[in-house]
Amino acid sequence: MSDDLHLERPIDLTIASLDENIDIVENDRLALEAVQRSLREAGLYAYGTYDDQQRWTIAVDDEAGRVDVRVGTDGFHIEFWASSPGMFADEENDWKRRAHERLVRIMLPNIARGHLGPHEHAMWDDVDQGIAVRVTYELPFNRSQGIGAFVLEHLPQLEDVLARVESQIEI
């Protein structure tokens, strides 16, 4: 097929197809209702919101970190995240502080490759001005009732992952 023919194909877009996105969000909301209930029953503050990519998400804010649960490809995508704010806040020299932050940004990918599992990630958080970690899991859709217990069990691991990354920083 030539590129000219490909460009001449009409785009099949109707008003009804725009409604499909609304149906996807509504289906995600319905699928995540049991997840939100499970998280609340586990004693966590869980609420529905849109994430940065406009996906319906059940979010949890806890002293140990934050959790986002959304509908993934084959199940529920659970993302735990935490940060270590103000890593160089006590550095009075702006140039030196920025240099330290830059060095940490450069070091983090190597630390992640050498010390973190494939479901664990480390990055610099510009908002918190410190190291941030994310730990992701996929659970099957039939485990929605147990997600609250799963989150309580795995939330303390965030501190361990963060400590493991921070222990590799030598400045």
pLDDT in tens, 71-102: 998 899 999 999 999 899 999 999 999 999 99
Matching CATH number, 3-166, of 3.40.50, 3.30.1460, 2.60.40, 1.20.1740: 3.30.1460
- What is the pTM for the complete model shown? 0.79
Q: How many CA atoms lie within 13 A of 41 on its CB side?
A: 13
Provide the token pair at 15. 């008003």
Report how far residue 148's alpha carbon sits from residue 145's, in angstroms, rounded to the nearest whole number: 7
User: What pLDDT score was predicted for residue 117?
Assistant: 94
User: What pLDDT score was predicted for residue 11?
Assistant: 40
Q: What is the band of 135 on the pLDDT scale with cuts at 50, 70, 90? A: very high
Determine the Cα angle at 169 with ends 98 and 102, to 5°: 20
